[in-house]
Chains A and B, each alone.
Chain A
Amino acid sequence: MSATPFLLDFPPSPAILHSVTWIGLTLGITLLAAPAEAAVSGASFLEITPSARSYALGMSNAVSSLGAPRPSAPTPPTLA
């Protein structure tokens, strides 16, 4: 494996940070401005996490998204 990261080093360059910030802001504003619905019935099964581990740790998708390291094992993340 190369010692050099594929796309960028950390911390990222100002250009990358600028792009990520604008993408994040645009996405955030779009989502936060979404109209409220009394209930979301469309494909609500997507809210069910398939991970029994995540379910036991608070019934959340975000736990599995984080890829939380297991006890005594340094196995951090992947993503969402």
Chain B
Amino acid sequence: MSRSFEVFSSYAALMDGTQYAHLAAAFSSGRDALDSLGLSVTRLQISGLQGADSAGNKTGDSLGSGDMAVALAGATRLASNLRLGLTAKALQSEIAGYKSNMALAGDLGLTYTSSRFSKPLSVGMSVTNFGQGIKFRDQRDPLPTAINMGLSVPMGPATAVAEINRRVYEQRTEAGMGLEYGIGAVSLRAGYLARTDSGNLALKDQSGARRVLGGLSGGVGIHMGAARLDYAFSQQAVEFGTTQRIALSLQWGGPSGHRAQRPDVNWKANRDWSDSLIKSMGSY
């Protein structure tokens, strides 16, 4: 296994001018003890919010809010097929110039890849966003802690993924599934996410059919040498328009990287299945 370095950037234009940006970098040492180390910065910026007084009357003022998280992640290989990862992060929010506390949180995850079949079947579970809540003045809100379990199965030229997520404090469950089909350097993707909650305001007044369609998403990925460009779209409600995302990653070194997508008949003998790193921070 050789050393590799990867950078990842992602941008999303969300509804009402909300902007989401993420930048991450990671280094893989190629050693089992500390296989990968990564650092990421995430920023969400909202502007143009209407101000209101304590009675809910609009004041005519306009205000903005922002959230930022800085995360440090590490991954280790417990066994040839078993990996463990931990992320520590510090986050802070700001609303109209008022800042919250600096909250500390973490993610913990475990993945196992079976080599008993002809294709690599992966299962994993994680606990994400556990830690201190965000506190403004006297009010503290819990983080969106979740327990996640998932499965990925290669199916010929495609890969199928399925998962279930349990939101701890909101006590709701999500189930998602997706399919990725590779044609040379291009990957076509489609997915669906089903939720048990009724608290999604975007879907509150939607018809049954539109609620069902609101869970659909799709996208495309293109690999060009050491670079990978991913694009995704979805629509939660007609009135809010389409949400679009774009992500770019670059990788140097390592045997897998973003290179040509072709079957590796010797994949069981190659322990460097993971092209790392940034996945340990959920960026991949």
Chain A residues near B (Cβ < 8 Å): 1-2, 5-10, 12, 27-28, 31-32, 34-80
* Pairwise interchain contact A61-B79, C-beta atoms closer than 8 A: no
In the complex, are the beta carbons of A74 and B187 less than 8 A apart? no
Contacts of B80 in A (CB 8 A): 5, 10
CA distance A44 to B274 in the complex (A): 29
Least CB distance from B244 to A in Å reads 9
B159/A68 in contact, CB under 8 A: yes
B36 touches A31 (CB 8 A): no
> In the bound complex, do residue A69 and residue B273 qualify as a contact, i.e. CB atoms below 8 Å apart?
yes
Residue of B32, B124, B126, B191 near A57 (CB, 8 A) is B191
* A80 and B124 contact, Cβ closer than 8 Å, known pairs A71-B181, A72-B157: yes
**Judging by beta carbons under 8 Å apart, are A34 and B218 in contact?**
no
**8 additional A-B residue pairs with CB within 8 Å, beyond A61-B282, A71-B182:** A10-B82, A51-B230, A53-B230, A54-B284, A56-B189, A59-B176, A65-B109, A68-B150
Output the nearest chain A residue to B218 by Cβ-Cβ distance.
A56
Among A2, A8, A65, the residue within 8 A (CB) of B148 is A65
Is B137's beta carbon under 8 Å from chain A? no
| Complex CA distance for A51 and B30, rounded to whole angstroms | 24
B174 close to A76 (CB less than 8 A): no
Give the chain B neighbours of A39 by CB distance below 8 A.
170, 199
**B261 & A72 in contact (Cβ 8 Å cutoff):** yes
A64 to B235 CA separation, bound complex (whole angstroms)? 20
Among residues of A, the one whose C-beta sits closest to the C-beta of B46 is A45
Smallest CB–CB gap between B179 and chain A, Å?
A: 7
Alpha-carbon distance between A17 and B126 when the two chains are bound, in angstroms = 17
B178: contacting residue among A35, A63, A77, A78, CB under 8 A: A63
Determine how close the nearest CB of chain B comes to the CB of A1; give it in whole angstroms. Answer: 5
How many residue pairs link A and B with beta carbons under 8 A? The number is 342
The distance from the CB of A51 to the nearest CB of chain B, in whole angstroms, is 6
Closest to A7 in B: B78
The 8 Å CB contact of A43, one of B109, B144, B280, is B144
Q: How far is the CB of B12 from chain A (nearest CB, A)?
A: 7
Min CB distance, A60 to chain B, in Å?
Answer: 4
Check A53–B219 contact: CB distance below 8 A.
Answer: yes
Which among B33, B152, B193, B261 is the interface contact of A68 at CB below 8 angstroms?
A: B152
In-complex Cβ contact of B174 among A60, A70, A72 (8 A): A60
How far, in whole Å, are A45 and B94 apart by their CA atoms in the complex? 12
Is B70 an interface position by the 8 A CB rule? no
- Residues of B contacting A50 with CB < 8 Å? 8, 10, 20, 22, 24, 40, 42, 247, 282-283
Quick check: B279 and A45 within 8 Å, CB to CB?
A: no
Question: Could you tell me the distance between the alpha carbons of A76 and B274 in the complex, rounded to whole angstroms?
Answer: 5
Closest to B165 in A: A62
Shortest Cβ distance from residue A18 to the other chain B in the assembled complex, whole angstroms: 15
Q: Does the CB pair A37–B170 fall under 8 Å?
A: yes
B83 within 8 A of A: yes
Is B83 a contact partner of A1 (Cβ separation < 8 A)?
no
| Contacting pair B217 A58 (CB below 8 A) | yes
| Chain B minimum-CB-distance residue to A2 | B32
CA A69 to CA B273, docked complex, whole Å:
9
